[in-house]
């Protein structure tokens, strides 16, 4: 994956001003210059595309990646957690990640039981 450094603020301002004064942008109250300067999502020190990837423990993964949860269960690490059951650490449950918060096994809703 290619990593692009974020443009310095003066470059963003210059691009915005140039676009605002061009004839193609004068009718638009919010020209494309504002879009160019918005922060891209980061995973550690790398930029990723949230429409195709997620950031999981500072690692960029494709959204369709699956991993094993226990010996015979799969889960999507972009959307779910693999959690050992509290009363039997040899058994696992899959729990949903909650958008916008740091999801944890003890507080997330159950998505599936790997024992079945």
Beta bridge partners of 53: 62
Q: What is the pLDDT of residue 94?
A: 94
> At 26, is the pLDDT very low, low, confident or very high (cuts 50, 70, 90)?
very low
Q: What is the pLDDT of residue 8?
A: 45
d(CA 54, CA 48): 7
Does residue 86 carry a pLDDT above 60?
A: yes
Say if pTM beats, i.e. exceeds, 0.95.
no
d(CA 91, CA 72): 10
Q: What is the pLDDT of residue 28?
A: 45
Does residue 68 carry a pLDDT above 50?
A: yes
d(CA 105, CA 55): 18
Give the tokens for residue 105: 């096994």
């Amino acid at each position: 994956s290619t990593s692009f450094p974020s443009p310095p603020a003066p470059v963003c301002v210059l691009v915005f001003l140039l676009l605002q004064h061009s004839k193609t942008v004068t009718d638009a109250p919010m020209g494309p210059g504002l879009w160019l300067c918005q922060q891209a999502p980061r995973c550690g020190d790398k930029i990723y595309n949230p429409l195709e990837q997620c950031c999981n423990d500072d690692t960029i993964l494709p959204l369709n990646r699956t991993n094993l949860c226990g010996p015979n269960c799969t889960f999507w690490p972009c959307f779910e957690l693999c959690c050992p059951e509290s009363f039997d650490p040899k058994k696992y449950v899959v729990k949903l990640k909650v958008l916008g918060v740091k999801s944890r096994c003890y507080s997330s809703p159950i998505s599936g039981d790997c024992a079945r």
